[in-house]
Structures are given as structure tokens and as C-alpha cells.
A and B are shown apart, each in its own frame.
Chain A
Amino acid sequence: NAGVMQNPRHLVRRRGQEARLRCSPMKGHSHVYWYRQLPEEGLKFMVYLQKENIIDESGMPKERFSAEFPKEGPSILRIQQVVRGDSAAYFCASSLGGGDEQYFGPGTRLTVT
């Protein structure tokens, strides 16, 4: 029973490049959440998606950030024109239904040089 998968685990980008982070939820889960975590800090909600729908994107910056969860394939968090302040660990989590327990992936550690 594979858990939540994220790739890549580590990603290095130069300022101005694009970063694409992928998340495959647990089998049977149709709800996906993205969180950002800076070193020594908590989990900041970014976006909540269901298949083909964005349910809540209130935690996502209006510019440069976008997320999708297509009918087929993983959920993708896309950061355009990355800046040093985007360096963080990005975790995704999935749940069976809204308000159910969330299971986290191993995270993608993004470093912007």
C-alpha cells in the first residue's frame, strides 16, 4: 500500500527559473493539500484540491504560484520565476474525504541559488 509520493525529493533552481513539484496521493484518495515549511517553522497551508478542482487556494501567493490536480496523473505545484525566499520544504498530503485524516508525503526540498 504505497503512501503519498512526492518528487523530486530535492530540487535546486537558479533565481528566475521554474520549479515543478509533483505529488501522487495515496491510492483511493481524491483530496490533496500542499503546505510550505521553512526551517524551524510550522506548516503553512497553501492550497487544497480535489480532482480537477481547486477547493481553497487562500494560502497561495497570487503571483508566480499555481497548482493543479488533473483527472489523470499527479498533483503539481508550479512556482514560476523562483526567488531565494521560495527556498523551503514543500509537503503534500492526501485524504480520503474532506476533513479526514491527512497523510503526508516525504516532501520536496527546494533550494533557490
Chain B
Amino acid sequence: GENVEQHPSTLSVQEGDSAVIKCTYSDSASNYFPWYKQELGKRPQLIIDIRSNVGEKKDQRIAVTLNKTAKHFSLHITETQPEDSAVYFCAASRSGGFKTIFGAGTRLFVKA
């Protein structure tokens, strides 16, 4: 069945450094790739997404890249801040009534 693998499971960086989280997906028909941030005890919140017709998207300190040939996509956070500490989930889906598959999550710690 469809699968999304996410790495690393835990990531610890110093404040101001960059953080990169990588995901691979198995369903070649996937065309929508969102990223969610979940703080402790809170709901997942969409932070950025990308569709298969573009290779990169940026929003201030966060960016997402997509390589459809290799079936992988990555989240990049630059100039990390302590408030970026959270669990980040990648996901893959396709239009037309199909479920979204989530990665297992990456716990990001940003040390002040």
C-alpha cells in the first residue's frame, strides 16, 4: 500500500542553525505534499504545502522542495528559533477522493 517515510525521527539544532527534514513517498500518483507542525497538546497546523507542478516553494524562513522523479520532498527551516521546537509531519495525497498518508513525524528541538 501507500507509504510515506520520514527522517530523521529526532533532530536537535542550535538556535540560528538550519534544520532539514526529508520524506519519501511510494505512490507515484501523489500530487499534493503538505507539512504540518504540531506543538505539545495542540492540533497539527499546516505550515506549508507544495503541489507536483512546482519544484520549490518558500515562505519566509521555511521552504519545501520536491523531486518527483526520486519521489522525495524536504522541509527546510532556516535561522531556527526556540519556538520552532515541535513535531513536524510530512504527508502525501492526490486529488479525487484519496486519503492522505502521513509520515511518522520528526521531533525538532531548537536549543537556545
Contact = CB atoms under 8 A, between A and B. Distances in A.
Contacts of B98: 56, 98-99
A25 interface: no
Interface residues of B, number: 24
A55 interface: yes
Contacts of B97: 48, 50, 55-56, 98-99
Interface in B22-59: 31-32, 34, 36, 42-46, 49
A103 interface: yes
Contacts of B36: 104
Instruction: List the 6 shortest-distance A-B pairs measured between CB atoms, nearest first.
Output: A99-B95, A98-B97, A104-B43, A42-B104, A43-B102, A42-B105
A101 interface: yes
A45 B103 contact: no
Contact of A97 (B42, B44, B45, B95): B95
B100 interface: yes
Contacts, number: 60
Contacts of B74: none
A101 B89 CA distance: 14
Contacts of A69: none
Interface string B78-112: 00000000000100011111111111110000000
B46 A45 contact: no
